Amino acid sequence: MKCTGRVSILAFIIVSYLIGLYIHGSAFTRLDLVLIPVLSLFAWYSGKQYDLVKFHSEKDFLTKIYNRRYAEKIFPKLKAKMERLNKSMAVFLLDVNNFKEINDSLGHDTGDVVLIMLTELLAKTLNKSEVLFRWGGDEFLIIAPNTNQIEAEKIRGKIETCLLNSERNTYHIAVSIGYSIYPDQAKRFEEAVMFADQQMYKTKLEKKCNGFVPVS
C-alpha cells in the first residue's frame, strides 16, 4: 500500500503551520514544539485512512492485485492510448478449472492458497505493460496493450506453460483462457469481456470433451 495520503497530508499540515507562523511574524514557542508533533500524528493517521480507502477501492483484499472496479476504470484510458497509437489491445479472461472441487474437497482456505499462488505465477509470467486483475471468485482478467491476435496466443501459451512446468503448482491446477482483441472483436469494455468469456467457456468445454482432467 502506498503512503501517498499520509505523506501529502503530513506535508500540507506542516507547511501550512510554518507559513502561518511566518505570516503572523511569530517565533517558535514551547507550544509550537508540542502542537507540531500532535498535528503531525493527526495528519499521519488521517492520511493512513485515505490510503486504506484508496487501496481497497483499487485492490483485491486476498490477492493484493487490482480489482474489477479498477479494471473498468483503467480500460478507457488504455483504449484512448491505443487509439492514438493506432494499436490493438487484448483482454483476457481466465478461471481455474475444477476450482469448486478444490474448495469442496480441500477447503476454502486451500482454495485461497491456490488463488494467491496463481496470482503470483501470473504476475511473474506477464510483462510490465500487461495488467492483471482479479475479476471475481476464481476468475482473473488481463489487459494487454499493444497486443494483436498472434501475440495474444503467445501470451496464452506462456501462461499455460508456466502453470504446467512450475514447481510451485503443487495442486496441479490448470486454467481455461479466452481473449478478445480491441477494436477487431469489441469496441467497448463490456463487449471485450463478454467475447473473452465466451471463448473461455468454449475452451473449457473442448478440454472436457477431450477428457482433460487438470485437478484431482
Percent of the chain with pLDDT over 70: 69
Percent of the chain with pLDDT over 90: 62
pLDDT at 210: 45
How many CB atoms within 10 Å of residue 8? 14
Q: Phi/psi of residue 127, each to 5°? A: -80, 170
| DSSP assignments along 51-92, one per residue | HHHHHHHHB-TTT-SEEHHHHHHHHHHHHHHHHHHT--EEEE
- Output the nine-digit C-alpha cell for 100: 469448486
Which residue has cell 511566518?
Answer: 22
Question: DSSP alpha helices (H): ranges in 59-188?
Answer: 68-85, 99-106, 108-125, 149-165
User: Can you give the pTM of this predicted structure?
Assistant: 0.74
What the chain holds in terms of domains, given with CATH numbers, is 4-58 (no CATH), 66-209 (3.30.70.270)
pLDDT digits (tens, 9 = 90+) for 1-34: 555 555 565 565 666 656 665 566 665 555 555 5
DSSP 212: -
pLDDT digits (tens, 9 = 90+) for 33-75: 556 666 666 655 555 555 555 555 689 999 999 999 999 999 9
Sheet-wide strand order for 66-67: 66-67, 131-136, 139-145, 89-96, 175-182
pLDDT digits (tens, 9 = 90+) for 68-106: 999 999 999 999 999 999 999 999 999 999 899 999 999
pLDDT digits (tens, 9 = 90+) for 154-200: 999 999 999 999 999 988 899 999 999 999 999 999 999 999 999 99
